[in-house]
Structure 1
Amino acid sequence: MSGLTAVLLTIALVLLVALLVGAGAGKLARLDGATYPTAILHAAAAFTAVLTLAAAVTAALATVLA
């Protein structure tokens, strides 16, 4: 597997996990009685948190491995 393929698959996996976490957070907020706009805000915050965490881990690994 080439390096580009590994990078693209990793990006796809991170985006998939972020989408699933966002959907789960939105669903849990909705089950808790939140309105639709509030549930969407919770989902967006969770999605952003996962992407931020992935970027931080990537930066830390790049520093360690370089």
Structure 2
Amino acid sequence: MAGLTIILLVCAQILLVAVLGAAGAGKLARMSGADYPTAVLLAASAFAAVLTLAAAVATALADVLP
């Protein structure tokens, strides 16, 4: 049961980091003068990039750890 709890907490933390990264990217895009659709597109791509990076790290760790 403890393993499942750790996995769920790590997933929640990854989602939180992805949302914060997306919010930061959107805010920076708006501050640099981008319109709303462009800012949302940049935020969505940052969100996807964080999730992709997390999946790549998890795959690499799954290959290395027993």
TM-score of the alignment, normalized to the shorter chain, above 0.5: yes
TM-score tier after normalising by the smaller chain length: over 0.9
1:42-57 mapped onto 2 (5 Å cutoff): 42-57=42-57
Per-residue deviation, 1:4? 0.2
Residues matched between the structures, number: 66
Distance, in Å, in 2 between the alignment partners of 1:38 and 1:18 is: 18
Per-residue deviation, 1:35? 0.4
SS, match of residue 54 in structure 1 = helix
Distance, in Å, in 1 between the alignment partners of 2:65 and 2:12 is: 22
Alpha-carbon displacement from aligned partner over 1:23-50 (angstroms, at most 9, x marks no partner) = 0000000000000000000000000000
Gap regions ≥5 residues in structure 2: none
Distance, in Å, in 2 between the alignment partners of 1:30 and 1:42 is: 10
Query: Could you state the TM-score of these two structures normalised by the residue count of structure 2?
Result: 0.97
Query: Could you state the TM-score of these two structures normalised by the residue count of structure 1?
Result: 0.97
% identical equivalent positions: 68
Distance, in Å, in 2 between the alignment partners of 1:56 and 1:21 is: 17
SS, match of residue 34 in structure 1 = coil
Q: CA RMSD in A?
A: 0.9
Give every structure 1 segment of 4 or more consecutive aligned residues whose post-TM-superposition deviation is greater than 3 Å: none
Gap regions ≥5 residues in structure 1: none
